[in-house]
Structure 1
């Protein structure tokens, strides 16, 4: 199947292929989550699927890069994103603030990218234990799909590097509140020489996305890649596209995070004008970074669609100041973003 490169062909393929397959696999994992024996783990697994299904829906778009392997790639994306969202709940809304516990949980995300790795007890540092094999099956599903991809071996290390950024972020941002900023700033200091000019909180945002991992999986279905191709894809997504993704996520969560006293990277901008200026900069750099990618017009649409998907969220409509700023961000994306915004708005309310 041809990779879509216009807004209308992309939307058609999303509704025709990506979303139905994503919902098929989400329903499977929802049924599995319902069977988890431990009450706390069951509630967190079900909550992550109920509240964050749109992460899987958005990620499934990358299946459109995989031609005949589209459904297989979406199976991986849904399983991997479900691990991510489930662990986020366990770290964010559950019973532990222990760094060792968070590290152990996130070993599952590395095992998922390592076919042949034997699952272990990822819950070994917490009291809630029995998930009935739920997390192990998610890991093994990812392993099975990746093992079948002809080009996986050439992208595995790059995928693990992005996973390392992601997992480090999840650990540091969920420990005791008085330790979080210091840990994140120290982490940034260790990595800043490999980064373009950005703040510690912008780097943290760039680390918090799984989009680069999904992109690699999709291209791995098309055959082996050389080092230069792998580098182009990695630099195409990290840091700027991933940063745009997560900054938008934090942008719409501001009110909720204030109430819950959660870490939100948007709060660290000096003022509103600086935040808007930097968001525009990240968006522009994201558009530049994808120019050297294969199917770059598809990736450009993803950038514009990201803005629309987040700004069409009901949270935006409920926050007067956020809604006002959202209109400025929509204008950044031009007519394709307006098109995706209207589609997203109707879809979510339907």
Structure 2
């Protein structure tokens, strides 16, 4: 299976091969979530799948880099992303504000990228513990896929590094409101000299994406992996591709996060103009860093896809109804390909909505 380099070719493979496999995997995990004995854990597990399916759909596109092994990679991506979304729900809407609890929960993510790691009592610092083996099965599923990669040993350290960034972020951002900014700034200062110049909240955003891990895992299943410079691949995705990803995610969630009292990294920019300029900077730097990578055209499609998917979200209309030029500026920077993914996503969501509403309409008319 060839790696697509044009938007239409990419979307054909996404809808014919990627989406059906993603939904098949999610269907299994939804069934497992429904069997969770504890009411709170069951509620959060089901909510994370229902509300964040698009995370798995988007991440799974990177499975196309693996060639014929895409189905295996999707199994890993869906399981790993499901852990991420589930734990994010547990921490965001948590009965706990204990950093020890968050660290222990996210130990499951580190174990997921560490073949041979023994399972741990991930819920030991919280009252709700009985998930019927749900989280442990997700971890074992990830390990079982990685175990099949002949090149896992070459990417292991990079996976753990990227995972550690993510886990640290989740711990620091979910503690009490009084503590979180100071913790995030202190954490940023540990890495400030190792990364390009940016603000602490931008570094936090760069750490909050799973795309770099998905990219490396996908490449590790290729037969020609030894010919691929995997260290530049990690550098290509962290910080800029991942930063673009999460800043866009926060960009569309500003109003929602404000109402919920959740931390939003885009709220720290002094103006919309500064926000847009930094988003454009991250997009251009992401393009620059992936220019020399294998399959660079595919990676550029991922960048443009991020713009299209997030900027077409219905939340944009609610938040920026009087300021559409922000979206137009970003799409203009993304060029024709960015617009392609924007309108493609709009059409996809319209079709999904019509399928949901049509049975209700028929029933009403009957």
Contact 2:35 2:132 in 1 (8 A): yes
CA–CA distance in 2 between the matches of 1:293 and 1:214?
16
Contact 1:149 1:223 in 2 (8 A): no
What residue number does 1:346 align with?
Answer: 347
**Mapped pair 1:217 → 2:243:** no
**Mapped pair 1:25 → 2:25:** yes
What residue number does 1:245 align with?
Answer: 245
What residue number does 1:261 align with?
Answer: 261
CA–CA distance in 1 between the matches of 2:234 and 2:105?
25
Taking structure 1 as reference, are residues 322 and 21 closer, same or farther at Cα in structure 2, changes over 3 Å only? farther
Contact 2:114 2:143 in 1 (8 A): yes
What residue number does 1:107 align with?
Answer: 107
Contact 2:228 2:294 in 1 (8 A): no
Q: Where does 1:1-350 land on structure 2 (aligned, <5 Å)? A: 1-223=1-223, 229-319=229-319, 320-321=321-322, 323-350=324-351
Cα-to-partner distance string for 1:225-277 (whole Å, 9 max, x where unaligned):
56982211111100000000000000000000111111101110111111111
What is the Cα deviation at residue 314 of structure 1?
1.2
What is the Cα deviation at residue 153 of structure 1?
1.1
Taking structure 1 as reference, are residues 178 and 57 closer, same or farther at Cα in structure 2, changes over 3 Å only? same
Contact 1:153 1:224 in 2 (8 A): no
CA–CA distance in 2 between the matches of 1:115 and 1:224?
22
CA–CA distance in 2 between the matches of 1:314 and 1:152?
39
CA–CA distance in 2 between the matches of 1:210 and 1:145?
16
Taking structure 1 as reference, are residues 226 and 2 closer, same or farther at Cα in structure 2, changes over 3 Å only? closer
Structure 1 gaps of 5+ residues are none
Larger displacement relative to structure 2 (123-132 or 258-267): 258-267
Q: Compute the TM-score of the two structures, normalised by the length of structure 1.
A: 0.98
Contact 1:211 1:242 in 2 (8 A): yes
Contact 1:45 1:86 in 2 (8 A): yes
Cα-to-partner distance string for 1:1-23 (whole Å, 9 max, x where unaligned):
00000010001111011111111
Structure 2 gaps of 5+ residues are 352-366
User: Which is greater in Rg?
Assistant: 2
CA–CA distance in 2 between the matches of 1:334 and 1:22?
29
CA–CA distance in 1 between the matches of 2:164 and 2:114?
13
- Secondary structure of the corresponding residue to residue 52 of structure 2: helix
CA–CA distance in 1 between the matches of 2:228 and 2:73?
23
CA–CA distance in 1 between the matches of 2:75 and 2:117?
19
> Alignment RMSD, CA only?
1.3
Taking structure 1 as reference, are residues 228 and 336 closer, same or farther at Cα in structure 2, changes over 3 Å only? closer
CA–CA distance in 2 between the matches of 1:216 and 1:84?
17
Taking structure 1 as reference, are residues 227 and 243 closer, same or farther at Cα in structure 2, changes over 3 Å only? farther
- Secondary structure of the corresponding residue to residue 325 of structure 1: helix
Taking structure 1 as reference, are residues 224 and 295 closer, same or farther at Cα in structure 2, changes over 3 Å only? closer
CA–CA distance in 1 between the matches of 2:113 and 2:91?
21
What is the Cα deviation at residue 37 of structure 1?
0.2
CA–CA distance in 1 between the matches of 2:215 and 2:229?
12
What is the Cα deviation at residue 332 of structure 1?
1.2
What is the Cα deviation at residue 317 of structure 1?
1.9
Contact 1:154 1:225 in 2 (8 A): no
CA–CA distance in 1 between the matches of 2:38 and 2:45?
11
CA–CA distance in 1 between the matches of 2:349 and 2:293?
30
